[in-house]
Structure 1
Amino acid sequence: MATRIDLTLDCADAPLLAAFWKTALGYVDEPPPAPFRTRKEWHAQFDLPEGDSVDDAAWLCDPDGVGPRLTILSVPEPKVAKNRLHMDVRVPGHGSPEERWARIRAESARLVAAGGRVQEVFEGHHVVMADPEGNEFCVAAGAA
């Protein structure tokens, strides 16, 4: 059996980044683990530094349970370099290369409207983008 992974993004503004990635991936806020009713209640059980707030993080999940969990954590240091690991957002569907490219362009435009920005376009293949805090990701077609 394969090991499951979670992905964690460091950021300056967890609510902003969570809203973007929920839009980008179709993810939802992950419920707190049982027996806790809220994330705030769950968060209170830990011996965390004073001033550490549940609002400094977000936990997202695929509502279908397929994709990896995404944790978004506010940290004090800024992003200073290119990601060493990035996500690829894969647009679904088959069809001709032109049809796949049209879906990639449409998804890129949707993510720009959600707060992302295009960094580079590899015509006919993929688009390199950045989320609202500059974390790089690609938009590409799913497996043909």
Structure 2
Amino acid sequence: MAALIDLTLDRADAQRIAVFWKTALGYVDEPPPAPFSTRAEWFAHFGLPEDDSVEEGAWLCDPDGEGPRLCILKVPEPKTAKNRLHMDIRVPGHGSADERWVRITTESERLVAAGGTVLERFEGHHVLMADPEGNEFCVAAASARP
């Protein structure tokens, strides 16, 4: 079996960015690990300083259990350079190049309404975007998987 991955995203406002990525990916808040009944209870067991808060993080998951989990953590420093790794959001469906491009642009418009920004359009192929804190990602058509 191949290794599984989680993605950890550093952000200034973890809760705001969590709302965006839940909208973008259809993810939900991940339940706390057993035996904890809440994230606050789980967080408290680490014995961190009192000024650390569970609200400084967010934990998201694919409700179907297929995609990687996302951990979003508050960090004090701002983003200062281009991402060295970014996510691609792949819109489903097949059809002609024109039909795929319509799905890509429709999805990018939905994500603009959720707080994202279009950085550049690569006509007929993909749209380069940024989340509300400026972290880049692409919207493209789904590719066939073996």
- Fold shared, TM-score > 0.5 on shorter chain: yes
CA RMSD of aligned residues (A): 0.7
- After superposition, residues 60-75 of structure 1 pair within 5 angstroms as 60-75=60-75
How far apart, CA to CA, are the structure 1 residues paired with 2:117 and 2:73?
21
Unaligned runs of 5+ in 2: none
How far apart, CA to CA, are the structure 2 residues paired with 1:59 and 1:46?
16
In structure 2, what is the equivalent of residue 13 of structure 1? 13
Task: Provide TM-score, normalisation by structure 1.
Answer: 0.98
Higher mean displacement: 48-57 or 61-70: 48-57
In structure 2, what is the equivalent of residue 59 of structure 1? 59
Deviation per CA, 1:100-129, whole angstroms, max 9, x where unpaired? 000000000000000000000000000000
Aligned-residue sequence identity (percent) comes to 77
- After superposition, residues 1-144 of structure 1 pair within 5 angstroms as 1-144=1-144
How far apart, CA to CA, are the structure 1 residues paired with 2:115 and 2:47?
35
Large movers: runs of 4+ above 2 Å: none
Unaligned runs of 5+ in 1: none
- Which amino acid in structure 1 is aligned with residue 43 of structure 2? H
SS state of the match for residue 133, structure 2?
A: coil
1:48 CA drift (Å):
1.6
